[in-house]
Chain A
């Protein structure tokens, strides 16, 4: 038995006082924090799940580091279709809608270069794709308007918008 195991034997669950079977050490910005819990409490707190490799956190760090000092121009960029700000993407690591690839293109390209060592798609093209980006974001605008029309109970307008969406979707 190692010293670590001996040490674990005497720990009780911090939450209920039962013998602890789950021991977690977190190191956050150089600060070590230990947690000792019994199985039932650890399940309640979902401790073990949180211990798994968190890819999105790693990615966020990478995106944050890469983008580094954001220029004023970038910081002000907002997608007209989904409303996400460039700063929000930087913080969350997730884009808001397909249009963002166009809106944030300048900032995204160096990031893509770093992640994939490439900036352009080579590969499958959807066989039925005929829609260009303009039609796509127009459809998104229409859906937003439809939502607003339903919210204010403007049902005639909503019906008109719904038909328009169906028409523009074509085979949709």
Chain B
């Protein structure tokens, strides 16, 4: 798998298709699994971790599964390449920054990733475009069964799949849906959504797992409870709440276009204008402005801008992607100017120099 080629394409989850794709970006499920006869990764010696990585990599190589998985040895990749995989949501930041033997198997199309030696020996993930939790579950259930044919999972009848952290024990499942909620942020109603979700034990985090202030107005809604509820129940709880948040965001968008259309139009045009003409651009400002542009396209307040291209820019302007795209390593200031240049070229159709 060539990471430079990967950079120029976008993963399936960024395709931006499917119903409600103006609000729902992607759906994701991950399963935490451990081998029965090894200590958990945090307690394993360097030698044991190498043994675990070798054992699992070997099993995955003999894997009779489609789509085909490609293995990347993370200990041998550069920090930039690891950061690229974080930005593409193929590995966690923790795994990228960890030390010792560790790896990830990524499928064609980047819908599947299998992390080795993260907090748990195995972290299986399925990531898809749009509101597609059921498809994610079917895929990851099939993947999980296929892995389990090759290895012995740590499992107990009482506690389910045994994990290094007791917050994941049971199903080991974290399922999440990523939403773009700019109107709720603009109307300052996002906090209300947070509080309501917390009451029903769902967690809200940003695009890359950050806390309260999510960049680009992207929010991931996920389950916290993994024990005492079946996978089906957990998925149904999330599935049932998402349409309500979608309706709430749509309501907020309508209210904005009705009550403050001119201010909204001005905000969107200014965002677009800045992205097309600025000469220095931080990642954070880019995310904020792209969020306004995305809202503008979805409300038909901006014409001739392709939503797929906007979705892609959110990822392509992240530090590692940007450096890969321009083909050299850049420090903070250089990145800001390269980012502005890249945005100008993509949004005005001029050549990247």
> Inside 8 A of A57's CB, which chain B residues have their CB?
none
Question: Is B151's CB under 8 angstroms from A172's CB?
Answer: yes
Question: Is A94's CB under 8 angstroms from B170's CB?
Answer: no
Q: Looking at the complex, which one of A101, A118, A172 makes contact with B156 (CB distance below 8 Å)? A: A101
Question: Is B36's CB under 8 angstroms from A124's CB?
Answer: no
Question: Is A172's CB under 8 angstroms from B152's CB?
Answer: yes
Question: Is B229's CB under 8 angstroms from A101's CB?
Answer: no
Interface residues of B in 161-204 (CB under 8 A from A): 161-167, 169-171, 173
Interface residues of A in 80-111 (CB under 8 A from B): 81-82, 84, 92-98, 101-102, 108, 111
> Inside 8 A of A119's CB, which chain B residues have their CB?
158, 227-228
Known contacts A96-B40, A101-B156, A140-B38: does B171 contact A123 (CB below 8 Å)?
yes
Question: Considering the chains assembled together, what is the distance between the CA atoms of A32 and B285 in angstroms?
Answer: 28
Tell me how far the C-beta of B44 lies from the nearest C-beta in chain A, rounded to whole angstroms.
Answer: 9
Q: Looking at the complex, which one of A84, A96, A122, A169 makes contact with B37 (CB distance below 8 Å)? A: A169
Question: Is A120's CB under 8 angstroms from B165's CB?
Answer: no
Question: Considering the chains assembled together, what is the distance between the CA atoms of A102 and B153 in angstroms?
Answer: 16
Tell me if B20 is interfacial: C-beta within 8 Å of chain A.
no
Question: Considering the chains assembled together, what is the distance between the CA atoms of A129 and B38 in angstroms?
Answer: 16
Q: How many residues of A are counted as interface, with CB atoms below 8 angstroms from the partner's CB atoms?
A: 52
Question: Is B226's CB under 8 angstroms from A171's CB?
Answer: no
Interface residues of A in 117-172 (CB under 8 A from B): 117-129, 131, 133, 136, 139-140, 142-143, 147, 165, 169, 171-172
Question: Is A115's CB under 8 angstroms from B166's CB?
Answer: yes
Tell me if B97 is interfacial: C-beta within 8 Å of chain A.
yes
Question: Is B162's CB under 8 angstroms from A59's CB?
Answer: no
Q: How many A-B residue pairs have CB under 8 A?
A: 163
- Dominant secondary structure at the B interface: loop
Q: Which residues from chain B sit less than 8 Å from chain A, CB to CB?
A: 34, 36-40, 42-43, 47-48, 51, 93, 97, 119, 141, 144-145, 148-167, 169-171, 173, 205, 209-211, 225-231, 233, 331-333
25 contacts across the A-B interface (CB closer than 8 A)? A21-B332, A53-B205, A53-B209, A53-B210, A56-B165, A82-B39, A93-B165, A95-B166, A97-B38, A101-B159, A115-B167, A117-B225, A121-B158, A121-B171, A122-B170, A122-B230, A123-B231, A129-B155, A133-B156, A139-B36, A139-B37, A140-B36, A143-B37, A171-B149, A172-B150
Known pairs A39-B333, A120-B159 / 19 extra A-B pairs, C-beta < 8 Å: A40-B331, A53-B211, A59-B167, A82-B40, A94-B40, A96-B43, A97-B39, A115-B227, A120-B158, A121-B169, A121-B228, A122-B233, A123-B173, A124-B161, A124-B230, A127-B148, A133-B156, A140-B37, A143-B38
